Amino acid sequence: MIDEDSQTIDLCNSSDLQEGGLAVPFDIVYGGQTCRAFAIRFEGVVHAYLNRCTHVAMEMDYQEGKFFDDSGQWLLCASHGAAYAPDSGECAGGPCRGGLVKVALSEKDGVVSWHTSYLLKPLVF
């Protein structure tokens, strides 16, 4: 859900996100802490989440941008095997507590953008 006070920030070209392929990573401030987030494409739709497993608050990818399992149907945490649904971020199995923190995305005219919220802010340089 995108609120009316949300700021839109261009993230990448639509072509950068291939179905079940590598994620596009980006930095974000979540609740005052800088952390990584990632954007993916699943079933033709773009999604983004904080790169933070709910089992243990650590980054999930075992190689930069690699989150999908071999089937392309689940997002996996490389450390402990927690599995998440790519379209919702909900826990689908393994040691996870709840779902991933979702980052609102939109896609228009070949550009994927993310949207700020009360807890999700851009880095300020």
Residues 16-49 pLDDT 10s: 999 999 999 999 999 899 999 999 999 999 999 9
- Residue among 54, 57, 27 at smallest CA distance from 39: 27
Using alpha carbons, list the distances in angstroms from residue 42 to 32, 52, 63, 80, 95: 29, 19, 19, 23, 23
Mean of pLDDT values over 78-90: 92
- CATH number of 60's domain: 2.102.10.10
Mean of pLDDT values over 4-10: 84
Number of domains observed in the structure of the chain? 1
pLDDT of residue 26: 97
- Residue 108 CA to residue 42 CA, distance in Å, equals 17
116: containing domain: 8-121
pTM: predicted TM-score of the whole model, two decimal places? 0.92
1 lies in a domain? Answer: no
84 lies in a domain? Answer: yes
Q: Which amino acid is at 31?
A: G
110 lies in a domain? Answer: yes
Q: Which amino acid is at 71?
A: S
pLDDT of residue 125: 55
Element (H, E) at 1: none
